[in-house]
Amino acid sequence: MTRIPTPEAIEEHRSAAAWTLGTAPWQAIAPASTGRARVIIDNDFAGDPDDLYQLVHHLLSPSVEIPLVVASHLRADDFWDPSGRSAENAALIVHDVFARMGLTSTDVIVTGSNEALVDRGTPRPAPAVDAIIAEALRDDPRPLFYVAGGGLTDLASAVLTEPAIAERLTLVWIGGAEHDGLAVPPPNPMPIEYNLLIDPVAGQVVFNDSAIPIWQVPRDVYRQTLVSDAELRLRVASTGSLGRYLYDELATVFTMIDRHLGGASETYALGDSPLVLLTALQSVFEPDPSSSRYVSMPTPALADDGGYLAAPDARPMRVYTWVDTRLMFEDMYLKLAEFCDWQAAVDAAGAAS
């Protein structure tokens, strides 16, 4: 549903307030240090606009270095973008966000496969796959988090191509159904959870066949991330041109819901935002997402129907059960306001000169 820009529109949207990753010129008090962890961002940016909020929030978080932004695909028949080019469209959207932010570090944007895996042994070649492998194998002592808010095609392809990367990164994934004993499904749930359904085979490669450590944010937890329309109007739309863009992208979804589902809601789940919370907003001492809660369990195998199969001897994984939405959203609102104030001042000065 996110509007797909043309290359010409991207240039029209470009802000004069130019900056690069690794800097934070909007902060009156400069951050003491930058990038104590590395974060590869992977999301289906042509789909649900909640990923735009996660992307902007991550880009405004100086405690992490972002070496890659992977533009990944949706299902072929997905109502958000049934074009068959959803990864390419996602890359256009990321370029547009960078332009609107004045962010010139476009070399980090890489495109994933437009299609899901056909089996558990055959990777899908894509520029993103090569870039993921190169970053994972790069000699760097800092932890590497692979944060994914959609399907897992490109990560699965990377680990199939180079299994050695499995022990060099941690996957933080928004997706998967509820676990028995921890939560119950929502009313009338999809037979297979939405993000897993994008590429169930890739999910099996990562869960069943690889050694990748996983921090999972399952459906019951990402559904906790509700914000109200009043919050979005007053704390996002009112901040400046970037905030208005973010709000308008969600407004198109509200309109669609009102038209097709018989009435609008006053809330929306920004379900990809825990990716920021769990990586960029960790504790100072003994770094960890210490304000959120999880249980540790052996990583289950994924069945063909999206369910979990017990694997008692498997590697441990984290399953988050509660996320600190206060910290997550307050940080996003304040960073957005601080950035938009700086951007507006720079853009105004440029227009006056």
Task: Tell me the average pLDDT across 207-222.
Answer: 99
d(CA 139, CA 313): 31
Structural domain contains residue 283: yes
Of residues 163 and 261, more confidently modeled: 163
Determine the average pLDDT of the residues in 194-210. 99
The tally of CA atoms less than 13 A away on the side-chain side of residue 59 is 29
Q: Is there a contact between 172 and 292 (Cβ–Cβ < 8 Å)?
A: no
Q: Is residue 9 part of a domain?
A: no
**Taking 70 as the threshold, does the pLDDT of residue 22 lie above it?**
yes
The pLDDT confidence band at residue 6, using thresholds 50, 70 and 90, is very high
Q: Answer whether residue 245 is part of any domain.
A: no
Integer Cα distance of 166 and 181 in angstroms: 29
Provide the pLDDT for residue 254: 85
Which of left, alpha, beta for 84 (phi over 0: left; psi -120 to 50: alpha)?
left
- Of the candidates 156, 162, 271, the one whose C-alpha atom is nearest the C-alpha of residue 214 is 156
For 68-110, what is each residue's pLDDT tens digit? 999 999 999 999 999 999 999 999 999 999 999 999 999 999 9
> Which pLDDT belongs to residue 353?
73
* 58 closest CA partner among 220, 265, 249, 272: 272
- Give the CATH number, domain containing residue 173: 3.90.245.10
Say if residue 229 is exposed, middle or buried (CB neighbours under 10 Å; 0-12, 13-18, 19+): middle
User: How far is 16 from 108, CA to CA, in rounded Å?
Assistant: 20
Question: What's the pLDDT band for 145 if we cut at 50, 70, 90?
Answer: very high
For residues 331 and 323, is the Cβ–Cβ distance under 8 A?
Answer: no
- As a whole number of angstroms, the distance between CA 36 and CA 203 comes to 28
Q: What is the CA radius of gyration of the chain?
A: 19
- Placement of tokens 């308008």 in the chain: 248
237-265 per-residue burial string, b: 16 or more CB within 10 A, e: under 16: bebbebbebbbebbbebbeeeeeeeeeee
3-state secondary structure at position 111: strand
Q: Is the four-CA dihedral 69, 32, 337, 330 of positive or negative sign?
A: positive
Confidence of residue 166 (pLDDT cuts 50, 70, 90): very high
pLDDT recorded at residue 326:
99
177 contacts 219 by C-beta, under 8 angstroms: yes
% of the chain surpassing 70 pLDDT: 99
Element (H, E) at 171: strand 170-174
Query: Is residue 1 in some structural domain?
Result: no
Give the model's pLDDT for residue 1: 61
Q: Give me the pLDDT at residue 242, please.
A: 98
Residue 96, sorted as left (phi over 0), alpha (psi -120 to 50) or beta, turns out to be alpha
Query: For position 312, what pLDDT does the model report?
Result: 98
Amino acid at 101: M
Distance between CA 203 and CA 220 in Å, rounded?
18
- Is 337 within a domain? no
Given a contact cutoff of 8 angstroms between Cβ atoms, the answer to whether 278 and 291 are in contact is: no
Q: For the chain, how many structural domains are there in total?
A: 1
In a domain, residue 345? The reply is: no
26 inside domain: no
Distance CA 85, CA 25 (A): 35
Lowest mean pLDDT among 3-17, 25-39, 174-188: 25-39
Alpha-helical regions (H) of the chain: 7-12, 50-59, 86-101, 127-137, 153-161, 194-198, 200-204, 219-222, 229-235, 241-260, 274-280, 325-352
pLDDT of residue 217: 99
Residue 5 counted as domain residue? no
Q: What is the pLDDT of residue 343?
A: 98
Cα-Cα-Cα-Cα dihedral sign, residues 110, 53, 38, 11: positive
Q: What is the pLDDT of residue 151?
A: 99
The model's pLDDT over 273-323, given as tens digits with 9 standing for 90+, comes to 999 999 999 999 999 999 999 999 999 999 999 999 999 999 999 999 999
DSSP 132-147: HHHHHHS---S-EEEE
Give the end-to-end CA distance of the chain in Å, rounded to a whole number.
38
Inform me whether the pLDDT recorded for 2 exceeds 90: no
| The token pair that represents 349 in the structure block | 């000065």
Per-residue pLDDT of 229-276, as tens digits, reads 999 999 999 999 999 999 999 999 888 887 777 777 899 999 999 999
Domain that holds residue 136: 35-228+270-330
